[in-house]
Amino acid sequence: MDNYNDPWDKIRWHNEEHFSIDEVGFNLVSWGSPKKKTTENNFVLVKDPSFAKSMARICAPLTPKNIIEFGLYHGASLVLLDKIFTPDSIIGIDERQEHPALSQYRKGSSAHSVIEPYCGVKQDHTDKLIQILESHFPKKNVDLIIDDCSHLYEPTKSAFLTSFPYLKSGGIYIIEDWGWAHWPGEFQKKEFFPGTPLSKLVFELLMLQSVIPNVIAKIETDYNHVAITKGEESSPNNRKLFELIKCKTSIHIEKQ
């Protein structure tokens, strides 16, 4: 077996829209482009070609053993995470039904980890999410959480409040496609995600970090992702976390 200093070096690029890892192929498509079909060991992945470099940089501090992902589509991202990191456990959550190709992969000999998709579950179904997370991660030892689900403010915020407490210190919470409402081109012509843009949550997280820097240690952004690194302390009053944000509109300085 090959040894890789960077697990993302496992990727073999065939062209800008197609890469493979071992026997599994991945076809990249962009939003609004003609759809391709996911088949056995050949998955459609709705990503920009630059996403791999972004993920490699963000995840460089991690060797994740326990992973949660919101938003599965055809399951390509779960398979990719399994191939890249070979973790112990991957939990997927999506309101859509499981794609047959994902079911075939995770039940076959190619899968490295235990992959468990929970389908028919919305990311803002708080009670159900807590039930799932408690059953798998009662020690709150999740290394990596990825949200590539609704791309909307309210449900993404709800999922963050529910799942962030299960992330261990030093773990990373990634929100994908955070800037879609501001992208030029097709996204300004069509309404892909009706609702409050995801960028509102990013601004709130930045303000929240100034209030609880020992809970949210670091926030990084690039075109593809927002990455929130968890600090050493647990979050207080999880459901009311964002109520900690205060905003002073001015300050008074006495003249000397």
CA-CA distance, 100 to 41, in Å (whole number)?
Answer: 11
Shortest CA distance to 195 belongs to which of 206, 181, 185? 181
User: Which whole-number Å values give the CA distances from 212 to 111, 198, 202, in the listed order?
Assistant: 39, 21, 15
pTM of the model: 0.91
Q: Is residue 49 predicted with pLDDT exceeding 60?
A: yes
Give tens-digit pLDDT for 64-123: 999 999 999 999 999 999 999 999 999 999 999 999 999 999 999 999 999 999 999 999
Helix (H, G, I), strand (E, B) or coil at 220: strand
Q: Where are the domains of the chain?
A: 48-234
Distance between CA atoms of residues 242 and 230, nearest Å: 16
Lowest mean pLDDT among 119-128, 178-187, 204-213, 227-236: 178-187
Distance between CA atoms of 249 and 256, rounded to whole angstroms? 23
> Over 70: is that where the pLDDT of 202 sits?
yes
Residue 192: predicted pLDDT: 65
pLDDT in tens, 129-139: 999 999 999 99
DSSP notation for 131-149: HHHHHH-TT--EEEEEE-S
CB of 181 closer than 8 Å to CB of 198 = yes
CATH entry, 48-234, from 3.20.20.70, 3.40.640.10, 3.10.180.10, 3.40.50.150: 3.40.50.150
Contacts 24+ apart (CB under 8 A), 81-86: 81/146, 82/106, 82/111, 82/112, 82/113, 82/115, 83/10, 83/21, 83/22, 83/24, 83/112, 84/7, 84/8, 84/10, 84/11, 84/21, 85/7, 85/144, 86/112, 86/113
- For the stretch 10-33, pLDDT in tens is 999 999 999 999 999 999 998 766
